[in-house]
Amino acid sequence: MNGRTVDLTVIDGVIESVTDHDPIDQSGTDLQDWLLLPPLTEPHAHLDKALTAEEVRNPTGDLDGAVQAWAAAAAEGRFTPDNVIERSTRAIELLLANGVTAVRTHINISPDVGASNVYALHRVRESFAGLIDIQIVALPRGPMTGPDSSANRAAFAEALDAGVDVVGGCPHLEDGATDAVAFAFDRALEFGLPVDLHTDETLDPSVLTVLDMVEQVHELGFDKMVSASHCVSLGVQPLEAQHDIAARIAAAGIAVLPHPQTNLYLQGRDHQAATPRGLTAIRPLVEAGVVVAAGADNVQDPYNLVGRSDPLETAALLVMAGHVTPEDAYTMVSNNGRKVMGLAPVEFRPGDPADFVAINAPSIRAAIADAPKSRRVYRAGRLVASSDQQTTINWRAST
């Protein structure tokens, strides 16, 4: 840990002490000089869509193609609550094995499914109690404003009554984006919930609904956590505008969540030359003091055909495509995600939660580069997942 070999004492799920290693004391669990890190976090998932890439094909490869493909498959009734439970369970098992102890998932809400997927995720959450924190975001189908919104609003109300943890939405996809942002904040105030909106997932620089979110925070005196996911259009603003908007986001206390896996896949397909990366303005946001937490978003579905359910994959893309240092990238997929979810960060201080992951790697850079499967995952000081990677090279085959 930070180049030190330490002894970590845990009592009642909390870190009691961190001291230099005593080689004489043979009690406890020996992690064999593995790298000890804060637990990984997945602050933006879509578990109801996970692991459907073989079943639901995206004909265009872009966001609109994914939305249309999913809507068509859902209209055929392919995704029953039992199916959602089965795939969500598999996806969470993958996350947990890779060191994730907290996940926030957006769940589609529409008139045809009502709150059924929310209830399905309740069952999944119960089955993983004590292993991983699961937060549910109600993600309504638009429009949420105007004359054609009544059925969608009714379904959204049903989901909120069923019990979710966060109010979601995609206001930038609506004609009345400003009104849609206001509607989301009104519901969040009504239910006392934080807000996490899909925000400006487009390369169109004229779309900046994140500023509507800033306005709502100030107008309402909104004191719950607010997260703006994606913020792709911010990344194509002139640099001066990026810094100005980042400062306004910071002043409002809004966190920003880039999702390099999915947005590198979906964005920029109509730019055949100098294809943009589809990432937000990470550096200006960090310099302004904004909490930046990164997620995978989608995993092996029509929105993202690949993905290993491993935040180290997201961290690697932050390093390569976002020009973030390995250490900062790890923070974005660990403690910053916990901050977004309202969970205490793990900094290995007395009193911190005893949630951590041990990885067979010499450094954070090496862990991100190699993504070794040899890991030990601890929740409240208890081993909840372990995996080992072995490689055998048959040298005799060379002779």
d(C-alpha 381, C-alpha 15), whole Å: 8
- Strands in the chain per DSSP E: 6-11, 14-20, 35-37, 40-45, 100-109, 133-140, 166-167, 195-199, 226-230, 254-257, 356-359, 375-379, 382-387
d(C-alpha 367, C-alpha 330), whole Å: 10
d(C-alpha 345, C-alpha 9), whole Å: 18
Question: What's residue 399's pLDDT?
Answer: 63
Question: What's residue 396's pLDDT?
Answer: 81
Where is average pLDDT lowest: 15-19, 88-92, 298-302, 323-327? 15-19
Q: Backbone phi, then psi, for 101, in 5-degree steps?
A: -115, 5
Q: What is the DSSP string of 216-271?
A: HHHHHT--S-EEEEE-TGGGGS-HHHHHHHHHHHHHHTEEEE--HHHHHHHTTTT-
pTM: 0.96
Question: What's residue 119's pLDDT?
Answer: 98
Of the candidates 188, 191, 189, 251, the residue with the CA atom closest to the CA atom of residue 215 = 251
State the average pLDDT for the chain.
Answer: 96
CB 186 within 8 A of CB 145: no
Q: Count CB-CB contacts under 10 A for residue 209.
A: 24
CB 348 within 8 A of CB 20: no
Where is average pLDDT lowest: 25-34, 312-321, 335-344, 373-382? 25-34
> Over pLDDT 70: what percentage of the chain?
99
Higher local confidence (pLDDT), 214 or 77 = 214
| Cα Dmax for the chain | 76
Mean pLDDT across the stretch 240-246?
A: 99
pLDDT at 321 over 70: yes
Mark residue 326 as left, alpha or beta (left: phi above 0; alpha: psi -120 to 50; beta: remaining). alpha
Same fold yes or no, 6-38+349-387 and 42-340: no
Would you kindly state where each structural domain of the chain is located, as residue ranges? 6-38+349-387, 42-340
Higher local confidence (pLDDT), 29 or 251 = 251
Mean pLDDT across the stretch 194-221?
A: 98
Quick one: pLDDT band at residue 24, thresholds 50, 70, 90?
low
Residue written as token pair 């980042």: 246
**Inter-CA distances, 232 with 252, 266, 309, Å:** 19, 11, 22
Tens digit of pLDDT for each residue in 347-385? 999 999 999 999 999 999 999 999 999 999 999 999 999
Quick one: pLDDT band at residue 117, thresholds 50, 70, 90?
very high
CATH number 2.30.40.10 given to 6-38+349-387: yes
Tens digit of pLDDT for each residue in 139-173? 999 999 999 999 999 999 999 999 999 999 999 99
CATH no. for 42-340? 3.20.20.140
Go through the chain and tell me how many residues it has: 399
pLDDT at 245 over 90: yes
Quick one: pLDDT band at residue 4, thresholds 50, 70, 90?
confident
Residues paired with residue 8 on neighbouring β-strands, in sequence order: 18
Tens digit of pLDDT for each residue in 224-233? 999 999 999 9
Question: What's residue 209's pLDDT?
Answer: 98
Quick one: pLDDT band at residue 219, thresholds 50, 70, 90?
very high
Question: What's residue 122's pLDDT?
Answer: 99
